[in-house]
Amino acid sequence: MHRWRNIAVFTLMIAFLSGIMFAAGCTLIKDITPKENISQQQDGVADASLPGVGPDTIANIVDRVSPAVVKITTVVEVGYNNPFHNDPLFRQFFGINPQPQYQSGLGSGFIISKDGYILTNEHVVDAAQKISVLVKGHQKPFEAKLVGADPSMDLAVLKIEGKEFPTLPMGDSNKIRVGNWVIAIGSPFGLEDTVTIGVISAKERPLEIDNRAFEHLLQTDASINPGNSGGPLLNLNGEVIGINTAINAQAQGIGFAIPTSTVKEILDELIEQGKVQRPWLGIQIQQVTPDIANFLGYEGSTGAVIYGVVAGGPAAKAGIKEGDIVLVIDGTKIENPDTLIKTVQKKKIGSKLEVEVFRKGKTLTINVEAAERPANVR
């Protein structure tokens, strides 16, 4: 009997100690949870202080931000319905007055200021005779004015008249990480308020699309279709970290967005001046390869090979020729084409650049005056 009493006391003591340990564990978990959420916030994931973090996070974000996402429709003149519309004798003889033909376009955008400034892609509104913007909660579309556009970066700013429009905040695309969740909202195929989700698949993607050379695109597997162009790519704080701009027609689950780090560099200039002024030399360049170096008699591996010179451009006027290898610009060693582009972009329009080139076994110094890049050059 005494032995059974000892066993019962021992069992009660273990149960008591287990209860204390369980309570301490719960307290520890409770203390750790906020710290984990803070760590996630720093990594570009949802801010734990936002309402609805959990199963309804995305739904709550969409409810909050979707009023600022707009559907854009355009009307573009594409030609005439008669091949002889430019022949005055034909029109006089047959008495035909050819009518222009128009084509409609679709895209997306988002409002960035309460007084109606809208950010979208340049290709969405390129050559448009009329731009209409449908804002959620308004029955009739607004007629939009093109404020500024930058074809090379595929960005444009529109303006609609009104006050107290809902807006989207710009986030920091540099903080987003590969694997972080993102949300795309837009009007694919004209279906406004379409929401898709995915992750950041890669960063700093270089890509050439429609003669536009991009260097720092975000890649995502969130579904992006025609009509999504110009719409926002959002993090889980509901901040814009990219502008959806392209899809890869040969693959599924691959879309691209212009990061906000690129947008912020030129946004004010687009609004204030209507364009981005960039210095331009009028040359086409490529990497120095062993075959090219051997053909030109160049023993080095750095520099940028000029394979095209624009007639009448700054480089052509200064005497730079195809086959020249650019080695140095104003004391900066040109390692590759990317170095040349970044070096020239830092210069002011009208400034004279001292350019060292390799030509037929000799190094020449040529002075080139940087001009403003023409609007039709991307």
Query: At 348, which helix (H) or strand (E)?
Result: none
Set 66, 123, 173, 261: catalytic member: 123
Gap between the Cα atoms of 355 and 209, Å rounded: 30
Closest CA to 322 of 350, 367, 268, 283: 283
Set 66, 229, 261, 324: catalytic member: 229
Residue 118, CB-side half-sphere exposure with 13 Å CA sphere: 35
- For residue 148, how far is the Cα from the chain centroid? 16
Q: How far apart are the first and last CA of the chain?
A: 96
Tokens of 165: 């429009």
Per the annotation, the verdict on 201 as an active-site residue is no
Per the annotation, the verdict on 221 as an active-site residue is no
Per the annotation, the verdict on 31 as an active-site residue is no
Residue 93 buriedness (CB in 10 A; 0-12 / 13-18 / 19+): exposed
Cα angle at 292 between 336 and 304, to 5 degrees? Answer: 20
CA quadruple 373, 375, 376, 377: dihedral, nearest 10: 30
Set 108, 132, 150, 154: catalytic member: 154
Specify the DSSP class assigned to residue 71.
E
CB atoms within 10 A of CB 240: 25
Which residues are identified as catalytic?
123, 154, 229
